[in-house]
Structure 1
């Protein structure tokens, strides 16, 4: 009997965490994020409505107040890069928050026990969230002509790259926070408390020129400032405005009188994103 029982035993082999296996896992997580986004029409509409209202309602109202100081430029043109960044950042934040939703419904546990590295799950989540946010930002980008921003191919490509970097960094930050959150209310409470002040201090809705010294310091310390400023620099480089107006609306970011170059700003955003990605992976490795 013993030999017969032994012959009935079936061996089980757990797949190794190879590079190809993890790449497939990244692809699956990314694909799931895209499907979730495309199937959630109310989310798409709600995430677009707020920046459109800010751009065309508030931008028009504020523009009527400052039209004398910025002659020849529509204030909505100034706000356009800020509204792109707001759309991308908010969408990326919601994408990161889906981790908490997955935890509440048990799907996250299934992913964590899967025979793939947890780093692959985090990378797939960050890439998926960044891609979803960039797609959402493209819809706002399509409105460029309505606010006198030219549809220049080089400009559009530059904005796409900068949008993706900002979205990736925001998603990585959200994933790092969400790794320890138990419910959606706590997550969005913390993210709103952190993200909204950063958005307001980034120069998305007001020029960085002639600010009080304390506000200049806060904007310079704000990481989102270095995501918004390259977008605005790219837009204004394709506009025909006077040096005086450019100095008011597009002064750039300065450290002790030295203007920070755009490549350094983009590199800082990318570097912060990589640091947050590593932090997110570390958090997930400690998650039960």
Structure 2
């Protein structure tokens, strides 16, 4: 497991040497939160779903931040390919599973840090810290999102050799995952033809689970959300490890 730790530590050093990277990844969702939340807070009412619109929006912005960061970590694989670092790691006398676990752990930790950082400015716009149990459950969902989408990003990156192509694909996937997650609009208010797309989106269950954790209200039972996210995490992690082992 020394390889896992070394690769994780490398990712952490890259993050803390580039503090602007964390800062900018928080500023964008917080700006969206302010623009949409404050602008629509007095207009949109969500009885039985959330006390006000800005509180409804916060869990979705946190999930979006974690997901965007985690999925984008696949770029690091392509950088490592381009500069020969990945080749050096692959020829080392270590298992491919340890390598992919280290890469996933580093990317997931980065995403979790950025999700937690966003919670602090969210306190300024109305979020009240939940109970310890609620906060811990929100962290569990953040971990599941981070690990799932980092592994998913690694899997996609391993099938590609073009960094620009990966960034375009990850951008489109991020938009689709977020757009059909119920992060901005309640699932119950969506048109009938969009609702099925939302329900097959794994990020939806993270958003709703996090919403339950932070506000106590959700349109999907938290046990279902947790089950779906655990299953998605297992599938993406196993799939990412399989594709990594096939890499020459």
Q: Same fold (TM over 0.5)?
A: yes
Q: Distance in 2 between matches of 1:211 and 1:40?
A: 40
CA contact 1:144–1:151 (8 Å) conserved in 2: no
Which runs of no fewer than 5 residues in structure 2 stay unpaired?
Answer: none
Residue 158, structure 1, aligned to residue 137, structure 2 = yes
Post-superposition Cα deviations, 1:47-86, rounded to whole Å, max 9, x if no partner, equal 111101111122111223315x659933211100001001
Query: 1:193 Cα shift?
Result: 1.6
Q: Quick one: distance in 2 between partners of 1:45 and 1:282?
A: 33
Residues 96 and 125 in structure 1, CA contact (< 8 A), matched pair in contact too: no
Match of 1:263 in 2: 223
- Point out the structure with the larger helix share: 2
Q: CA deviation at 1:176?
A: 0.4
Contact 1:80 1:147 in 2 (8 A): no
Q: Could you tell me how far apart the structure 2 residues matched to 1:263 and 1:66 are?
A: 28
Counterpart selection for 1:60 from 29, 38, 43 = 38
Q: Indicate if the aligned counterparts of 2:182 and 2:204 stay in contact, CA closer than 8 A.
A: yes
Give the structure, 1 or 2, with the largest relative contact order (CA under 8 Å, sep 6 or more).
2
Larger Rg: 1
**2:135–2:214 contact (8 Å) kept in structure 1:** no
- CA RMSD in angstroms comes to 1.8
Name the CA distance, whole Å, in 2 between partners of 1:43 and 1:144: 19
Aligned to 1:82: 60
Deviations 1:243-264 (A, max 9, x none): xxx6xxx4x13xxxxxxx3123
Within a 5 Å distance, the mapping from 1:93-132 to structure 2 comes to: 93-132=71-110
How many residues align structurally? Answer: 246
Alignment of 1:242-261 (within 5 A): 250=218, 252-253=219-220, 261=221
Which residue number in structure 2 is paired with residue 232 of structure 1? 211
- Unaligned 5+ segments in structure 1 are 1-22, 238-245, 254-260
Q: 1:16: which partner in 2?
A: none
| CA deviation profile, 1:222-266 (whole Å, cap 9, x unmatched) | 1111111100112221xxxxxxxx6xxx4x13xxxxxxx312321
Question: If the length of structure 1 is used for normalisation, what is the TM-score?
Answer: 0.81
The answer to whether the aligner puts 1:134 opposite 2:112 as a matched pair is yes
TM norm structure 2 = 0.93
SS of residue matched to 2:188: coil
Deviation for aligned residue 1:267: 2.0
Provide the rounded CA distance (Å) in 2 between the counterparts of 1:143 and 1:70.
Answer: 25
Matched residue, 1:286: 246
- Hey, what does 2:121 align to over in structure 1? 143
Query: Counterpart in 2 of 1:37?
Result: 15
1:169 paired with 2:148, answer yes
Q: Distance in 2 between matches of 1:200 and 1:121?
A: 32
> Partners in 2 of 1:74 and 1:93 — Cα distance?
30
